Structure 1
């Protein structure tokens, strides 16, 4: 007598299908010593039932006027617990793969990012990987995991849009570096790096539209300035000019 699925939440509520013979006029389905919360006769060979709450492994039996069947095992699974995301932000377009760590993840069937679901790859009971779906808008969304034991949430993932650079002030400075430059643009609050002609520059995020940057040493001439965040990069071509000092 097969039962599908053969596992469900400790809180109950799992709809299971029981297939066998001589199931007409089923009067009861029990999970261990508890009756199913709902039983529906589908056909002489099939009934459905909603599991009650429980723990561990229990035997499921069907009772008809002809008697009670032998038990078939049903496994109660606890709700998952999520402890951390391997990566907490990424591009608005999605497509990046991240890890999720916790316990009770071996039966995970879906991961939701702000209501948009993705199918995970289960690596172990304590880890899974999932390709992040595209987001509706930049900003934080809740992350929930659904397993045979139920759904758990409590983690946050932040969608990030690609930065844009609109201006630099000032636009020139000495080749020795050390010039304080204000960069304005959009989506700058998640900036990972700023480079001048490929050289990393120290920076501070003021807000989503402003960065404060100190130029590294460089070679005389116009150079590209690149601002990067988890979603990608924007290049301001020839936006800053290094000026050589006077010589005598």
Structure 2
């Protein structure tokens, strides 16, 4: 307490009522600083010198002041550089005169009410105790952690479709308490902090190209530097040839775009027997076996699955009858073949000799018998679905006299 007046130079005692000051210092003839002793109520302050005791009635009131109590701090952590505004809750806070983070005084604070104070964290490190001092004393401490800035060292996988939705594993450090994960400027659809060094995040939708993956935590936001690449889904523009036998084995060329990194080529639900990514616009694949009918050809890459063009599986042709069943060794007669699967006929063979032919329908064709030696010969028909069974045609010699 500061006592002001006159003739203080030789003061020998300062009293608060009947109790002497715990200590005092004569600063000048008109000023004394004194430490008030314990007491109650309102008492008269007097100064004693060799000339006597002061007679002016100057009073000092003892008031009941509770010790402040802190119950919580939010947030409970922040960056080493400080600057985070924290909210302290408790009781007896209205007379707060100082807020400390460990031994360091907060650069500023605001008393909101008797139960709440906001304060700006100073720079620091580690975990410190926050205390509040009022005329009633210094409170208990509540823990505040100076957290390190997150560091992202890798993402896996490093690429995915523009529509998002795939799970990406982030590895690094200082992930505890992470509050946000972003792919470029877009927040992750969701994320889980698996450990201080690992986060599982679901990539949001994004534009094709690179996006920087960053993590925000109590210590701040990680520096950009680890990219995640958004890829367009593959586009299929042609399938050549567009058909083949149910036995599979046909080499098929797929053309389109965004084929790099292809992980699968499917004919319907069945994976291709094998495939090779020739370029971003071309894939060669070997058709797997299947049942007769059309299937959709698709290509899968980290950017998604695309395609939807048809490939037709054809059953091998079947011959059931021929007419006539015999002809001259000189050839030239027209033979009608009936059966099924004949519409796509590419070749008619009489043994090893190729015949001229005309497709009448899927169940009939006519062929001109080539010349050959006398005797039986097998007739077969070949289509994209394979080669038929053989029917016997007999060449006969002309009669001689």
TM-based fold match above 0.5: yes
Number of residue-to-residue matches in the alignment: 242
Counterparts of residues 143-182 of structure 1 (less than 5 Å): 143-152=213-222, 153-168=224-239, 177=250, 181=253
Residue 271 (structure 2) aligns with: 198
Q: Hey, what's the Cα distance between the residues in 2 that align with 1:218 and 1:121? A: 41
Residue 225 (structure 1) aligns with: 297
Q: Does 1 or 2 have the higher relative contact order (CA < 8 Å, sep 6+)? A: 1
Q: Hey, what's the Cα distance between the residues in 2 that align with 1:219 and 1:69? A: 80
Is the 2:242–2:311 Cα contact (8 Å) retained in structure 1? Answer: no
Counterparts of residues 80-99 of structure 1 (less than 5 Å): 80-99=150-169
**Does 2:202 correspond to 1:131?**
yes
Q: Hey, what's the Cα distance between the residues in 2 that align with 1:214 and 1:60? A: 68
- Aligned-residue Cα RMSD (Å) equals 3.1
Measured after TM superposition, the shift of residue 168 of structure 1 is: 3.9
Show CA shifts across 1:75-122 (max 9, x none): 111112222223222222222222222222121121011111134212
Show CA shifts across 1:175-222 (max 9, x none): 65556x35124x334432334563144323534xx12x2332656987
Show CA shifts across 1:140-160 (max 9, x none): 211111111221142222223
Is the 2:154–2:171 Cα contact (8 Å) retained in structure 1? Answer: yes
Q: Hey, what's the Cα distance between the residues in 1 that align with 2:130 and 2:149? A: 21
Computing the radius of gyration over CA atoms, which structure comes out larger, 1 or 2? Answer: 2
Q: 1:36 to 1:226 in 2, by over 3 A?
A: same
Measured after TM superposition, the shift of residue 20 of structure 1 is: 2.0
Q: Hey, what's the Cα distance between the residues in 2 that align with 1:239 and 1:138? A: 34
**Does 2:77 correspond to 1:7?**
yes
Q: 1:38 to 1:204 in 2, by over 3 A?
A: farther
Q: Hey, what's the Cα distance between the residues in 2 that align with 1:163 and 1:22? A: 66
Is the 1:194–1:203 Cα contact (8 Å) retained in structure 2? Answer: no
Residue 74 (structure 1) aligns with: 144
Q: Hey, what's the Cα distance between the residues in 1 that align with 2:169 and 2:214? A: 13
Counterparts of residues 102-113 of structure 1 (less than 5 Å): 102-113=172-183
Unpaired runs of 5+ in structure 1? none
Q: 1:218 to 1:59 in 2, by over 3 A?
A: closer
**Does 2:193 correspond to 1:122?**
yes
Residue 398 (structure 2) aligns with: none
**Residue 215 of structure 1 aligns to a residue in which SS?**
strand
Taking structure 1 as the reference length, the TM-score comes to 0.81
Residue 236 (structure 1) aligns with: 309
Q: Hey, what's the Cα distance between the residues in 2 that align with 1:134 and 1:4? A: 33
Q: Hey, what's the Cα distance between the residues in 2 that align with 1:63 and 1:17? A: 15
Unpaired runs of 5+ in structure 2? 1-69, 315-382, 391-401
